[in-house]
Amino acid sequence: MDENKTNATAESVEKVPVAGKFWLSFADCLCGTLNSLLTGGGMTYFFTKFMGMDEKLASLVWILFGIWNAVNDPLFGYISDRTKSKLGRRIPYIRYGSLFYALIFIATWFRWPFGGSQTVLFVQMLVTLFLFDMFYTAIATSLYVMPYTMAVSNKARSSIFIWKIAFSVITLAVPLVVFPLIKPEVGSDPTQFQIIMTAIGVGAFLVIFISTFFYKEKVQNESTEEMNIFRSVVTCFKNRSFVVFEILSFTVIFIQTILMQGVIYYFDEFDTPMPFAYGALGLGAVGGILLWIKMLRPWGVRKCVTIMCVAFAAGATAMCIGGQITPVALVVFVLAGCGFAGGMYLVPIMNGDVIDYDELKTGARREGIYAGVNSLITKPAISLANAAFLMIAKWFGYDTTLTAGMQSALAKHGILVAWMAIPALLLIASAIGMKFYPLYGKQWEDDKAALAKRHSEVN
């Protein structure tokens, strides 16, 4: 009993400086904003709708991109766990990668001076996406694991995640609201759009670079084991909690990507007022985060995630059937906001537990390899979401040469199906998968307390 009190006291006194939480969250927000603008449908729309690239070639780019990530992400996670520098294991990648990340983002929105043939567009999209993702992996993975190295207790980590959620309004709003308003129409002059995207890229670089002077890692249980990369990856998949987590993680990334892509097409063809829709989305997000914060302790991560998945799946199904009806659409936007809030708050906490469990089993702290293998799973979700939306919409007769509002009734219904059908199925699979998630109940609480005590003794 005394030991539990000691651990509870340790959790209550651990503090993360406000400046560190602010700048980490701001940097993570703008890093994610650039990625969401580019991979969340913006790049696909720009190359296929504006520059006239064939949808099949664009789908092939995303498939090749998914294969590339099978090597890129786990390799970086493995390397970053073993990086040694005066700045720590993660900060060098964030600070010095930010310039190249922003430059490649800006270059995406300008046509190469080699003509506009399908071959040139294919090569431009492929090369740009590969380079962009290389630096995104280095920066985003490092930012993603920072809360697990800045703090030991879940209570302190949770305070960081709340800041990240507050900033995530920008990450969501820019792709969902700003891009549809500034996107260049077919045959229009893209100069204004390019200026705005350049400004966003420059601003992101400055924030990400400056942020690295305001937070630092707590080096805890630095990995000394001699696992090669293959064995290190295999060990991750032997962690059953990680396998269950990956089902959810894949689902969340797939849905975030396809929702951001589909919303561009949705508002082009349907009469649901954008301000009301985004107001409903915001209402759901605020209500969701308040709900998950309040109910996390009494319900636990497992129950909260299950409820989130079931509610979101019901909303996605309703949108497939009646998304052309404004009241139905608004209810779905509320549920989507609640789901987004759960994805941003519950998923990182669940991931922290998975990493903590691995440390209990292996004795090593391996945030990097877990983040890398997570990306190995979730990056294909981005590719598949982009490719699936295009292909399904095409099956229903969507015509990329038409201006907004001119699609056939069948093509409009195809937008709803392409947008929401697969998310509904994935959410149901995730809800079922949570039944096999082992990190809950008194035994896990005792294990977490023991780990917190070990960390407090080391640090």
Within a domain: 342: yes
C-beta of residue 239 within 8 angstroms of C-beta of residue 360? no
List, in sequence order, the alpha helices (H) in 323-408: 326-362, 367-395
Within a domain: 7: no
Q: Could you say which residues of the chain have pLDDT below 50?
A: 1-12, 220-221, 223-224
C-beta of residue 180 within 8 angstroms of C-beta of residue 46? no
Please give the full DSSP string across 240-252, using - where no structure is assigned. Answer: HHHHHHHHHHHHH
What's the confidence (pLDDT) of residue 6? 39
What amino acid occupies position 237?
Answer: F
Residue in this structure with the two tokens 């229903």, named with its chain if needed:
396
**Gap between the Cα atoms of 66 and 168, Å rounded:** 25
pTM, 2 dp: 0.70
**Gap between the Cα atoms of 106 and 99, Å rounded:** 11
End-to-end CA distance of the chain: 23
**H or E element that contains 288:** helix 274-322
**Gap between the Cα atoms of 57 and 392, Å rounded:** 15
Report how many domains make up the chain.
Answer: 1
C-beta of residue 376 within 8 angstroms of C-beta of residue 69? yes
Within a domain: 8: no
User: What CATH number does the domain containing 400 carry?
Assistant: 1.20.1250.20
**Gap between the Cα atoms of 32 and 129, Å rounded:** 15
pLDDT in tens, 258-273: 987 888 899 989 989 9
Within a domain: 5: no
What's the confidence (pLDDT) of residue 457? 60
Within a domain: 6: no
Within a domain: 11: no
Within a domain: 459: no
Within a domain: 149: yes
**Gap between the Cα atoms of 374 and 50, Å rounded:** 33
Q: Which residues contact 165 (CB under 8 A, 6 or more apart)?
A: 289, 341, 344, 345
Q: Which residues of 319-355 are buried (b: 16+ CB within 10 A; e: fewer)?
A: bbeebbeeebbbbbbbbbbbbbbbbbbbbbbbbbbbb
Containing structural domain, residue 301: 18-216+227-453
